[in-house]
Structure 1
Amino acid sequence: MNERINARPISTINLSRKLKLSQMMVFARVLETGSFIRAANELGLTQPAISKAIFELESFFDEELFNRSNRGVTPTEFGVMLGRRVRSLIAELRFMTDEVQAFRKGDTGHLIVGTLIAASAVLLPRAIAQLQDEAPGVLVTIKEGTAAQLFPKLMTGEIDIVVGRLPERDSQLFTSLPIRHEALYGEEFSVVCGTDHPLAGREDVAVAELADAPWIFPLPESPARMAAEKMFHDAGIPVPTPRVESLSLLANLGLMLHSNLLSFMPRAAAVQLMKVGSLSILSMPAMHNAGRVGFSIRADKDLAPSCKRFLVCLKRAAVDLNQVSE
């Protein structure tokens, strides 16, 4: 028989009277860091204080929250379930703080932005720079990741907005979550290389010349990969076998600086890096319709004031970026 059937019931009144926000904060940090010691360092507490708070929570719920080992702690099944609720609770408190501060001053708050490679190099920095000029009291935290990592965090309130390449309209990420996606512009990709590459500075490079070159390709599941393969298909040339698969802008740039690898890069980012002499854009047509760049927000939740203000800056930056690229 399942032992949890006999667990003592927990009433809403007992929950609100006995649970403390400080315990929730401690639990959230241990969950995030996977370590009592790291959580203590981040919160400015002692390890015994962290252990005491977790013990009190486990005693209250009559459930273990973490499995302990020499390498740290991992949440139990109950801990994972409680973690989802606690993250949402902390996010709601953050929203309340933002709204109170925005009501009093109109230019403060904490904005947490999730970003994908398509926006992290150009669009996002421009938008944040405008926000800081207008509202320097807004703290901006940037979290980078894949759409599969960022969208669940958007739903729990850990992230306010995701900026980058939007998922395809028929994808599960697009249809399965109550998220509103808004496109700002269509993305173009260029073929790029290091400044010392033999093709750098050449005029009218043909696709056929690239068939036997060593390549960094986007990841197989990305829209950029489909655009890259389409370039070769349209030219009637077999798609080369890549030596590296990566969506990391920084890693790809480093590889091109130290080898003859070619790569695909969002044109807006490539133009910025070319201007500072970090790479070369091959003289050939850009790949159009490689994806839509925009933002994603929860459809069932009002935005925090700082996020509403950021959206204005983001749309303005997108317009400016389109004018520059033209």
Structure 2
Amino acid sequence: MRSLPHTALALARKLKFHQLQVFDRVLETGSLVRAANETGLTQPAASKIVHELEATFGAPLFLRSNRGMQPTEFGELLGRRVKSMMAELRYLTDEVNAFGSGASGHVIVGTLISASAELLPRTIARLKASAPGVLVSVREAAMTQLFPALASGDLDIVVGRLPERALPLANAFALTHQVLFSESLCVVGGAKHWARAPRHVPLARLRDGAWILPVPESPSRLAAERLFHEAGLALPDDVVESLSVRTNIGLILDSPRGGLMPRAAAARFVDSGLLRVLADTEPGSFGDVGYSLRADKRPSPACERFIACLREVCDRAAGV
């Protein structure tokens, strides 16, 4: 790093926004080839831009190896600021487009299992019916990954189970949380494996079988642990820990493995004949489902339209 301090004016004169876009894509993908493809450049051109940035800052940004491009400590520092700048550019683009047409833009939605199977598909369908020009990108991950991405501007909104207020994660970032409804857990199994089971199977009978539970760092794991604790039972011994809807459904369909799912998320698979509800739990046992936004940033017009559709779907389901 150069000994002389940089100034805002000097960096403004030297840096080009397109350079930062390329840097952001290399940071995100870990690959010069993919970054070049995403920004419409050749690989040598993308590599030249990275070298120019390193020369400007007087410090290496990446460690290059056959496993890809890994950011240096300084590269990670720069990346945190560049991600915020890229988010602001996206917001500006959406607002300019919305000002002209009112029906375009880009919404990047982070989602959890409680929303990905039922609530989110219906919301997206409603949004696209009224505003087909709005691009929707969906990213499914654990809350511990989604909230930092929301705070940095990588996501516009997170939809799913809200963290309990007492949990550190609920207050770790400058976010606001809006409740849509309270959700219950249910125990589900593959319909073909449980065809002869009674209508309601006692949890004590199911406990000794094979299970899928949320990963330990997930707030929904607390709901699962509370369910067994209140029944006077220890957690199952044969457990797969997963938040992936696709993986969980595949495991349940291929073997007599039980799983805990939010009632709304399970409903579509039950209605289609793939899953069967083996046991219900107390109302509200899963927690509150809603959406989270940045506290320091007003949603883009496209995101506000998405939120309106989200609320309409919930109102319709509640019979409002």
Same fold, TM-score > 0.5, yes or no: yes
Answer yes or no: is 1:28 the counterpart of 2:24: yes
State the percentage of identical aligned residues. Answer: 52
Contact 1:217 1:242 in 2 (8 A): no
Residue deviations 1:138-181 (CA, integer Å, cap 9, x gap)? 10111111111111111121111111111110112211221100
Distance in 2 between residues matched to 1:46 and 1:221, nearest whole Å: 41
Residue deviations 1:18-42 (CA, integer Å, cap 9, x gap)? 2111111110111111111221222
Distance in 2 between residues matched to 1:208 and 1:81, nearest whole Å: 51
With the length of structure 2 as denominator, give the TM-score of the two structures: 0.94
RMSD: 1.8
One-letter identity of the residue aligned with 1:77:
E
**Post-superposition shift, 1:258?**
1.2
Task: Give 4+ residue runs of structure 1 displaced > 6 Å after superposition.
Answer: none
Which of the numbers 3, 7, 10 marks the counterpart of 1:11? Answer: 7
One-letter identity of the residue aligned with 1:7:
S
Distance in 2 between residues matched to 1:208 and 1:90, nearest whole Å: 51
Answer yes or no: is 1:211 the counterpart of 2:207: yes
Alpha carbons of 1:200 and 1:248: their partners in 2 closer, same or farther (altered >3 Å)? farther
What is the match of residue 308 of structure 1?
Answer: 304
**Post-superposition shift, 1:199?**
5.6
One-letter identity of the residue aligned with 2:93:
T
Distance in 2 between residues matched to 1:264 and 1:69, nearest whole Å: 42
Alpha carbons of 1:33 and 1:92: their partners in 2 closer, same or farther (altered >3 Å)? same
Contact 1:193 1:260 in 2 (8 A): yes
Give the number of aligned pairs.
319
What is the match of residue 52 of structure 2?
Answer: 56
What is the match of residue 137 of structure 1?
Answer: 133
One-letter identity of the residue aligned with 2:253:
L
Q: Which runs of 5+ in 1 are unaligned?
A: none
Which of the numbers 89, 92, 97 marks the counterpart of 1:101? Answer: 97
Q: Which runs of 5+ in 2 are unaligned?
A: none
What is the match of residue 250 of structure 2?
Answer: 254
Which of the numbers 268, 271, 283 marks the counterpart of 1:288? Answer: 283
Distance in 1 between residues matched to 2:189 and 2:99, nearest whole Å: 50
Answer yes or no: is 1:147 the counterpart of 2:179: no
Structure 2 counterparts to residues 1-326 of structure 1, below 5 A: 4=1, 7-198=3-194, 202-282=198-278, 284-289=279-284, 290-323=286-319
Contact 2:189 2:277 in 1 (8 A): yes
With the length of structure 1 as denominator, give the TM-score of the two structures: 0.92
Contact 1:166 1:294 in 2 (8 A): yes
Contact 1:138 1:306 in 2 (8 A): yes
Secondary structure of 2:238's counterpart equals coil
